[in-house]
Amino acid sequence: MKIMANETAYPTVREIIEFTQTFAPLETAMDFDNSGFLAGNINGEVKTALLALDITKDVIEEAKEKDAQLIISHHPIIFNPVKKVMADTALYSLIQNGISALCLHTNLDLADDGGVNMCLAKAAGVQNPRFIDGECLVVGELSEPVTAEKFALDLKNSLNCQGLRVVNKDKKVHKIAMCSGSGGDYVFLAKKLGADLLLTGEIKHHEILFAAENGLSVVDAGHYKTEDVVIAPLAKRLSEKFPTVNFIVSERYTDGVCYL
């Protein structure tokens, strides 16, 4: 397409997708996942894109108000096969308003360069983070040992958490294992790898007991906060690549949890 001197060139949805493939390729997504371009016009121009952890009805309403042509999320708006689309659902609203959806899920979790777990490691002050082969688990070290309680309080401030859970809070920790979101089942591997602490966003009761009884500290900072950490850096990265597009971090998205 020929661009006149007074016209602004806007990328298509396809071009934005192709760029995300350079750091979070879809072929790296886990088998159960449904990442990728899930709705809309792949050839449509993008002047404004809204980023949020999930595509909820509130997020779609915000996208409408801000005249966004694309929503980029972490969690897929379509995960299981859809047999019907009802008027009171986010998917219906997305389609009705002609907004495209790009969902970068486990492929972004597993990205070495700016992925969810790497952003979490940076927020936690973990140095030399690296993935364990074949796993969605990152290990690294702190610059110096601190108590699990100190680590948790620093993280609470860094992630702007309203609250978090800590196991073995008085233990000195140095080697940190982490899995954003639902990674509590990694307590067993974390212990095997000699980690002092597992940082995650969800952990079950029996996994907590294992950690407590086996000298492994745990910090559960919540699914939302351990994954939302990637959204602002992703928006910045996309803005640098496509300066004509207004990439906006959602101001309305929340997981709805209130800590009393």
For residue 35, what pLDDT band results from cuts at 50, 70 and 90? very high
- Note the CATH architecture for domain 13-108+230-248: 3-Layer(aba) Sandwich (3.40)
Instruction: Specify which residues 138 forms β-bridges with.
Output: 131, 178
Cβ partners under 8 Å of residue 90, min gap 6: 55, 56, 57, 59, 60, 77
Q: Taking 50 as the threshold, does the pLDDT of residue 148 lie above it?
A: yes
Q: What are the residue ranges spanned by the domains of the chain?
A: 13-108+230-248, 116-226
* C-alpha closest to that of 163 among 81, 36, 240, 258: 258
Torsion, Cα of 14, 58, 81, 33 (10° steps): 60
Question: What average pLDDT does the segment 2-13 reach?
Answer: 73
Whether residue 129 is predicted with pLDDT greater than 50 in this model: the reply is yes
Q: Which CATH number fits domain 116-226: 3.40.1280.10, 3.40.640.10, 3.40.1390.30, 3.40.50.300?
A: 3.40.1390.30
**CA gap 189, 137 in Å, rounded:** 9
Going by their DSSP bridges, the two strands 197-202 and 172-182 should be labelled as parallel
Residue 250: both structure tokens together: 């959602």
pLDDT > 90: percent of the chain: 95
Q: What sign has the CA pseudo-torsion 257, 50, 24, 236?
A: negative
How confident is the model over 33-56, as a mean pLDDT?
97
pLDDT digit string (tens) for 78-127? 999 899 999 999 999 999 999 999 999 999 999 999 999 999 999 999 99
Sign of CA dihedral 71, 112, 133, 174: negative
Higher per-residue pLDDT: 64 or 8: 64
Confidence of residue 2 (pLDDT cuts 50, 70, 90): very low
- 51 forms bridges with which residues in the sheet? 72, 249
CA dist 121 → 114, 124, 138, 218 (Å) = 10, 5, 8, 15
CB atoms within 10 A of CB 50: 29
Element (H, E) at 58: helix 57-65
Q: How confident is the model at residue 1 (pLDDT cuts 50, 70, 90)?
A: very low
pTM, whole model, 2 decimals? 0.94
C-alpha–C-alpha distance, residues 100 and 44, integer Å: 9
